[in-house]
A and B are shown apart, each in its own frame.
Chain A
Amino acid sequence: MFKPRAALVAAAAVLLLAACGSGQSASSAPGASDSGGGLSPVKVSVIPIVDVAPIYLGEQQGFFAAEGLKLELVTAQGGAAIVPAVVSGQVDFGFSNFTSLIIATSKGLPIKVVAPGAASTGAQGKDFGAVVVKADSPIRTAADLAGKRVAVNTLNNINDTTVRASIRAAGGDAKNVAFTELAFPDMLAALEKGNVDAVQVVEPFLATAKKNGDRVVASNYVDTAPDLAIAGYFTSRQTATGKPDLVKRFTAAMQKSLEYAAGNPDAVRKALLSYTKIDAALTGSLTLPSYPARVDRASLETLSKLAVQDGLITSAPDLSGLVP
């Protein structure tokens, strides 16, 4: 969510390709760390946001221990640190949005999605991410965003592509939008000061925006595809082929966690207090994402098409290697 992050991603990708090229096959002995007995340790890198509540809940509920896994959650500030950590084998699994993973795949990074993470609620105006304007703004629909300044947290990623999809769906000119990169925590102040005309925010900033009296003009994830899958858990190809048992057990525990989270929204809201600093008074008014049990292949194809259409990548990667 910092400005240098895009540069960091690029630099990391270059370094990664170099590292992968120099042959890291020494540590890929199959089942090396899966020796029986106690719980096998599993390191997962996550971002401390609303989307990853199920994994914290699942740990509390003992779903990972039941699969013989000792979960160690490592927090990172964004995908820029997570993708290299997973590919270099520093952590076993990571959490990322699917557009980032599609871009990484198209650059040849060996990654594989192993479990779903978070998805759009599919309800217009009632999603966990939205495009927001000030109450007195002349912008009424996504089509009005043409020619305006819109803030997204990362340029050339899932949020600007889905906002463009929203504008197209509303019949507007998606090419003629000035996207600006701003960290989520800075967006509402920038909107207030008039530095930007609209901001694409997610929870908890969406709830804060509504509390401030700002107006939702588009649910960009809902406009992109029905129940758009947004993020998920992934691993490196090396781990996927070298430790299939670990992956199977992680996926199973993750599915139980997601199911539990989907059925117990109050538990999710409570779990947020354990790993974020979201104001307890605000957690009740947050719109939670939906926590799907399966990775929705159609959503990934949609995101891949958008990535090509908006010039993030030159050609759509083969998704069969990425999706389970």
Chain B
Amino acid sequence: MTAATLRRRSPLSSRPPSWLLDLTGLAGLVAAVELAPRAGLVDERYLPPFSAMAAALAEQAGTAEFWQSLLETLRGWAIGLALAMAAGVALGLLIGGIPLLRAALSSTIEFLRPIPSVALIPLAVLLFGTDMRSTLLLVVHAAFWQVLVQVLYGVRDVDPVARETARSYRFRPFTQVRTVTWPTALPYVLTGFRLGAAVALILEITGELIIGSPGLGRQIAVAQSSGAVASMYALVIVVGLIGVAVNVAARATERRVLRWHPSIRRDLAA
């Protein structure tokens, strides 16, 4: 344990800890947004200084509407991501596990994958109107491919010897998946989760913004069409912060779930 801590610390000792660097970066951004309008580099009417955005944010935070919208955005994101994960993992294991199916579907997947979710907006509105389900469709569609493709890579990465061994011992399909496929695919599943989490958030906000389904994106659009520039940027900042939180949470999940995996374990000699 001590050896591990020592080794972990040694490469970092030459520079400040990463959280300090993160904070310095953010502080620099805040200072730039504060000073550029004040110095007249950009028009204050169209990009207000950071302090004005912060004041607008404080004002927003005092309204029930803001918290309601935040909740709606987070809920839409979580439901969409959960559905995409469930479908992506299940179908990924199934398609990846059956070579014939995989060969038959690979071109279909490659064809469907690049279709931008935003192109589905008219279809979504036709099916569900402008409520939350329309945006959910976009979120699930976008995140699903991220997860599916990662799971397919993961299944392909399974050691053929291990697979053949399991087969010759006549493991049942479920046992094979649990003991052979899943441990190999898990890091890929979690990469899919991390990518999907970010994409799902982007599509959640985009859907709210363009379709007008409830959430922070809609509040941004309302602020925009009301000419409330500071309020709009205040909400954009909130969305950015959610993005950071989602990424941090996804990475933490990855580290925790893959504690045993060589890519995460630092006590192994590199």
Count chain A CB atoms within 10 A of each CB in B43, B121, B227, B231 and give the residue with the most: B227
Q: Which chain A positions have C-beta within 8 A of B142?
A: none
Q: Which chain A positions have C-beta within 8 A of B43?
A: 189, 192
Asked whether B123 is an interface residue with its Cβ less than 8 Å from the other chain, the reply is: yes
- Contact in complex: B212, A77 (CB < 8 Å): yes
Q: Which of B189-197, B216-224, B241-249 contacts A (4 or more CB under 8 A)?
A: B216-224
Q: A76 to B125, alpha carbons, bound, how many Å?
A: 10
- Contact in complex: A74, B129 (CB < 8 Å): yes
- Contact in complex: B122, A90 (CB < 8 Å): no
Q: A188 to B128, alpha carbons, bound, how many Å?
A: 35
Asked whether B46 is an interface residue with its Cβ less than 8 Å from the other chain, the reply is: yes
Asked whether A33 is an interface residue with its Cβ less than 8 Å from the other chain, the reply is: no
Asked whether B54 is an interface residue with its Cβ less than 8 Å from the other chain, the reply is: no
Asked whether B166 is an interface residue with its Cβ less than 8 Å from the other chain, the reply is: no
**Distance (Å) between the CB of A300 and the closest chain B CB?**
25
**Distance (Å) between the CB of B206 and the closest chain A CB?**
10
What total of A-B pairs shows CB separation below 8 Å? 103
**Which of A49, A82, A85 is within 8 Å of B225, CB to CB?**
A49
Q: A305 to B211, alpha carbons, bound, how many Å?
A: 31
Q: A48 to B221, alpha carbons, bound, how many Å?
A: 9
- Contacts A81-B211, A84-B122 hold; do A1 and B129 have CB atoms under 8 A apart? no
Within 8 A of B (CB), among A36-94: 43, 45, 47-49, 74-77, 80-82, 84-85, 88, 90-91
**Distance (Å) between the CB of A133 and the closest chain B CB?**
17
**Which of B123, B129, B225 is within 8 Å of A45, CB to CB?**
B129
- Contact in complex: B225, A276 (CB < 8 Å): yes
Q: Which of A9-17, A154-162, A233-241, A246-254 contacts B (4 or more CB under 8 A)?
A: A9-17
- Contact in complex: A15, B222 (CB < 8 Å): no
- Contacts A204-B226, A277-B223 hold; do A12 and B130 have CB atoms under 8 A apart? no
Within 8 A of B (CB), among A252-278: 275-278
Q: Which chain A positions have C-beta within 8 A of B185?
A: none
- Contacts A11-B122, A15-B122, A77-B210 hold; do A48 and B225 have CB atoms under 8 A apart? yes
Q: A11 to B210, alpha carbons, bound, how many Å?
A: 15
- Contact in complex: B212, A75 (CB < 8 Å): yes
> How many chain B residues have a CB neighbour from A under 8 Å?
30
**Which of B45, B46, B131, B226 is within 8 Å of A277, CB to CB?**
B226
Q: Which residue of A lies closest to B123 (CB)?
A: A15
- Contact in complex: B225, A76 (CB < 8 Å): no
- Contact in complex: B222, A91 (CB < 8 Å): no
**Which of A15, A77, A282 is within 8 Å of B126, CB to CB?**
A15
Q: A189 to B209, alpha carbons, bound, how many Å?
A: 21
Q: A77 to B231, alpha carbons, bound, how many Å?
A: 18
Q: Which chain A positions have C-beta within 8 A of B224?
A: 183, 185
**Distance (Å) between the CB of B153 and the closest chain A CB?**
32
- Contact in complex: B125, A75 (CB < 8 Å): no
- Contact in complex: A12, B122 (CB < 8 Å): yes
Q: Which residue of B lies closest to A272 (CB)?
A: B226
Contact with B along A209-243 (1 / 0, CB 8 A): 00010000000000000000000000000000000
Q: A279 to B56, alpha carbons, bound, how many Å?
A: 11
**Which of A12, A15, A77 is within 8 Å of B221, CB to CB?**
A77
Q: A277 to B224, alpha carbons, bound, how many Å?
A: 8
Asked whether A179 is an interface residue with its Cβ less than 8 Å from the other chain, the reply is: no
- Contacts A15-B123, A45-B130 hold; do A276 and B226 have CB atoms under 8 A apart? yes
Q: A81 to B138, alpha carbons, bound, how many Å?
A: 15
- Contact in complex: A48, B222 (CB < 8 Å): yes
Q: Which chain B positions have C-beta within 8 A of A183?
A: 224
Asked whether B29 is an interface residue with its Cβ less than 8 Å from the other chain, the reply is: no
Within 8 A of B (CB), among A162-192: 183-185, 188-189, 192
Q: Which residue of B lies closest to A279 (CB)?
A: B228
Asked whether B78 is an interface residue with its Cβ less than 8 Å from the other chain, the reply is: no
Asked whether B118 is an interface residue with its Cβ less than 8 Å from the other chain, the reply is: yes
- Contacts A76-B212, A77-B211, A189-B43 hold; do A88 and B228 have CB atoms under 8 A apart? no
Q: A16 to B127, alpha carbons, bound, how many Å?
A: 10
Q: A91 to B130, alpha carbons, bound, how many Å?
A: 9
- Contact in complex: B122, A91 (CB < 8 Å): no
**Which of B122, B130, B225 is within 8 Å of A185, CB to CB?**
B225
Q: Which residue of A lies closest to B208 (CB)?
A: A77
Q: A109 to B184, alpha carbons, bound, how many Å?
A: 53
- Contacts A4-B118, A8-B121, A84-B122 hold; do A184 and B130 have CB atoms under 8 A apart? no
- Contact in complex: A19, B228 (CB < 8 Å): no
**Distance (Å) between the CB of B226 and the closest chain A CB?**
4
Contact with B along A84-112 (1 / 0, CB 8 A): 11001011000000000000000000000
Mind listing 13 A-B residue pairs with CB under 8 Å? A1-B225, A8-B121, A8-B122, A16-B126, A75-B218, A77-B211, A80-B122, A81-B210, A84-B126, A90-B128, A90-B129, A90-B130, A278-B228
Given A47-B225, A75-B218; 8 other pairs, CB 8 A cutoff: A1-B225, A11-B119, A48-B226, A77-B209, A82-B130, A90-B126, A212-B45, A279-B226
Q: Which A residues form the contact surface with B (CB < 8 A)?
A: 1-2, 4, 8, 11-12, 15-16, 19, 43, 45, 47-49, 74-77, 80-82, 84-85, 88, 90-91, 183-185, 188-189, 192, 204-205, 208, 212, 275-279, 282
Q: Which B residues form the contact surface with A (CB < 8 A)?
A: 43, 45-46, 118-119, 121-123, 125-131, 209-212, 218-219, 221-228, 231
